[in-house]
Amino acid sequence: MQSNPAMNFDHADGQALPLPAKLGIGAIAVALHLLAGWGLMHLVITPEKAKELGPLFVSWVAPPEPPKPVVEPPKPPPPKIKKITEPPPIIAAAPKPDAAPAFVAPPPPPEPVPQPVEPVVNIAPPSPAPAVAAQPKTVSASEVRYRVQPNISYPAQSRRLNEQGRVMVRILIGANGNPQQVVVSKSSGFSRLDDAVIAGIRRASFYPYEENGQAIPVWVVAPFDFNLD
């Protein structure tokens, strides 16, 4: 299709037309188009011409879809505040007294097992202990008499040292009158004087002491003095 020489807005030498010329040419072109459209509206198309023109297609252009509204997401519901209620106090029931236990009869005691009979042994009673001899009694020195006087000498060294004093002795006189024991019950304070008395008494003898016509041993307490006067 060739372009219309009237629609060329440039000179033959390629220079652009001034603006008023361009506006005039544009107005002429618009008028021509309107005129052509009016002629087409009054043109009667016969079937033969319609065949020459060919099928006419009409396409519907769908209007643009309106913008979709922006849907805000639903706000979450406010959290529910649970009201905490205190449970009612639990009142424990008083414990029931235990039922008295049923009486149960104790089992019968086991039958005694017969013990073997031990043979009877005759044991002789122990012989009585020998009688303990009674301790000799103590008598005064005036109740006994010497058979042989005691020979008591004053130690020479005690004389030189001026040792003097009284010696008390206990004498056990046997049933035969001989002295069996001589014990110093009170010392003179000088061992030489005490030993001199013991040695002299052991060499003496007494008449037996009789009681109910029978001689018995007795204890006698006798004093012996050592004086240098």
| CATH code, domain carrying 175 | 3.30.2420.10
Query: What residue numbers bound the domain in which 28 lies?
Result: 15-53
Please indicate, yes or no, if residue 127 is contained in any of the structural domains.
no
Confidence check: pLDDT of 116 > 80? no
Give me the pLDDT at residue 90, please: 64
Residue pLDDT, tens place only, 141-177 = 899 999 999 999 999 999 999 999 999 999 999 999 9
Please indicate, yes or no, if residue 173 is contained in any of the structural domains.
yes
Helix, strand, coil % over all residues of the chain, rounded to 5: 25, 20, 60
Which residue has tokens 């959290």? 79
Please indicate, yes or no, if residue 97 is contained in any of the structural domains.
no
Return the percentage of the chain with pLDDT > 90, whole number. Answer: 38
Number of structural domains in the chain: 2
Band (pLDDT 50/70/90 cuts) for residue 120 is low
Please indicate, yes or no, if residue 208 is contained in any of the structural domains.
yes
Phi, psi of 215 (to 5 degrees): -75, 130
Average pLDDT over residues 205-210: 94
Residue pLDDT, tens place only, 54-104 = 555 545 555 666 666 666 777 777 776 666 666 666 665 555 655 555 556
Band (pLDDT 50/70/90 cuts) for residue 186 is very high
In this structure, the number of other CB atoms found within 10 A of the CB of residue 35 comes to 10
Please indicate, yes or no, if residue 3 is contained in any of the structural domains.
no
Q: What is the mean pLDDT of the chain?
A: 75
